[in-house]
Structure 1
Amino acid sequence: MRNLDWWGRLFWVGVIGKGLDGLAEVIGGLLLLFASPGTLNHLVLLLTREELSEDPTDFIATHLLHVASGLTDQGITFAAVYLLIHGAVKIALVTALLRKQFWAYPWMIAMLLAFIAYQGYELVVAPTGGLWALTIFDAAVTVLTWHEYRRHKRRHDLASDPAHHVGSG
Structure 2
Amino acid sequence: MKERVLDLVFLIGVLFKGLDGLLELVGGAVLLFVTPGQVQRAAERVTARELAEDPHDLVANLVVHGAAHLHGRSVWFVAAYLLLHGLVKLAIVVALLVGTRRIYPWAMAALGAFLAFQLYELIVRPSVAVAVLTVLDAVIIWLTWREWRRGRELRTTWRQTVAWVFRRPQPREA
**Match of 1:5, SS?**
helix
In the other structure, the counterpart of 1:145 is 144
Q: Alpha carbons of 1:46 and 1:6: their partners in 2 closer, same or farther (altered >3 Å)?
A: closer
Do structure 1's residue 82 and structure 2's residue 81 form an aligned pair?
A: yes
1-structure distance, mates of 2:60, 2:20: 24
Structure 2 gap segments, 5+ residues each = 153-174
Spell out the pairing of 1:109-148 with structure 2 (5 A cutoff).
109-148=108-147
What amino acid sits opposite 2:108 in the alignment?
I
Do structure 1's residue 71 and structure 2's residue 53 form an aligned pair?
A: no
Q: Alpha carbons of 1:17 and 1:63: their partners in 2 closer, same or farther (altered >3 Å)?
A: closer
In the other structure, the counterpart of 1:101 is 100
What amino acid sits opposite 1:84 in the alignment?
L
Q: Alpha carbons of 1:150 and 1:79: their partners in 2 closer, same or farther (altered >3 Å)?
A: same
**Match of 2:34, SS?**
coil
- Describe the superposition over 1:95-135 as per-residue Cα deviations: whole angstroms up to 9, x where unpaired: 11112422210011111211222212222232222222111
**Paired-residue identity, %:** 44
**Match of 1:9, SS?**
helix
Superposition TM-score, scaled by structure 2 size:
0.71
Structure 1 gap segments, 5+ residues each = 154-169
1-structure distance, mates of 2:125, 2:119: 10
Do structure 1's residue 24 and structure 2's residue 43 form an aligned pair?
A: no
Corresponding residue pairs, total: 150
2-structure distance, mates of 1:91, 1:125: 27
- Describe the superposition over 1:4-48 as per-residue Cα deviations: whole angstroms up to 9, x where unpaired: 833332222211111111111011112112211221122233344
What amino acid sits opposite 1:107 in the alignment?
W
1-structure distance, mates of 2:115, 2:93: 17
Q: Which is higher, the Rg of structure 1 or of structure 2?
A: 1
2-structure distance, mates of 1:66, 1:116: 24
2-structure distance, mates of 1:40, 1:85: 20
**Match of 2:151, SS?**
helix
Once the two structures are TM-superposed, the CA of residue 61 in structure 1 deviates from its matched residue by 5.8
In the other structure, the counterpart of 1:5 is 4
What amino acid sits opposite 2:30 in the alignment?
L
Bigger shift: 88-97 or 67-76?
67-76
**RMSD (Å) for aligned C-alpha atoms:** 2.7
